[in-house]
Amino acid sequence: MAEAVGTAADVKGAKGSLPGWLEISLRFAQQRPLGAAGAVIVLGMALAALLADIIAPGDPQVSNYALMLRPPSAEHWLGTDSFGRDILSRIIYGSRTALLIGFTSAFFGATLGAVIGVASAYFGGRVDLMVQRFMDILLSFPLIILALAVVAILGTGTMNVILAITIPMIPRCALVTRASALAIRETPYVTAARAMGFSHTRIIFRHMLPNVMAPYLILVTAFLGQAILLEASLSFLGLGVAEPTAAWGLMLRGAAVEFAERAPWMAIFPGVAISAAVFGFNLFGDSLRDALDPKLRMG
């Protein structure tokens, strides 16, 4: 009995000696294994993007027509495409494109949406009414339709694709953060800040925005998966990034119907990469929401 108590104490002491971030990660993995699985997928994608120059077996943009449509083999693990380019290399480098566009779009979309939502809740009245009606107009369009409209106006290219994905994200984040900010607006410390004569900008950015960080972080992770899927969709339609940039949507576009039977690996592996990335971000985002939402923690 004493030995068992000593062992438990040793385990508890060893756990307490871990760094704070590692202890939090282990607790998160134990309580939410699906979220941990999503985090592993996200981390693997991030590492592939960072180490692409090291781990990729070849140059993703160099064509070799002597190696066209080679099936998966020891030399080319995932085969080659219609230009003789190594598919594994293009998938690895494609994670850079997906994360660059996805993270930038999700970050700016969620950030601008949070600022607009909090400001709308803070000022209230006619300002809130006008802002929310404009947000409702944007929300009436599906994500892909609004993104297509923006690309049609601005044209293709990485920056335009980022902007096209950012704009549909803004009203969705504004709606969620406004709901949280409406409750924060009535708290004593905001009332005290107003009574002390603080500027509207200071109250919004220093006293209200920090208190909507939990829904903000959840929205960023949720938007990442949607942004990656939107980028792939636009690239597949020929309205995203252009060749010879390595992008998963472009790879699916290259796997045209004429190659469906001759080289199915051209569509299978990029499709798996897109599905895994979106699935990983969705799992991690859902678990992060459960961890940060006090109502769900109490349940």
pLDDT at 191: 84
pLDDT tens, residue by residue, 86-117:
999 999 999 999 999 999 999 999 999 999 99
Which segments in the chain show pLDDT lower than 50?
A: 1-15, 298-299
- Cβ(208)–Cβ(181) under 8 Å? yes
pLDDT of res. 16: 52
Q: What is the pLDDT of residues 156-205, one digit of tens each?
A: 888 999 999 999 999 999 998 998 888 888 888 888 888 888 888 888 88
User: Is the Cβ–Cβ distance between 87 and 266 less than 8 Å?
Assistant: yes
Asked if 273 contacts 41 with a C-beta cutoff of 8 angstroms, the reply is: no
**By C-alpha distance, which of 108, 299, 114, 117 is closest to 214?**
114
Task: Determine the pLDDT at residue 299.
Answer: 46
Q: Is the Cβ–Cβ distance between 254 and 266 less than 8 Å? A: yes
Q: What is the pLDDT of residue 238?
A: 83
Determine the pLDDT at residue 104. 94
Domain 45-50+79-298 has CATH 2.30.30.100: no
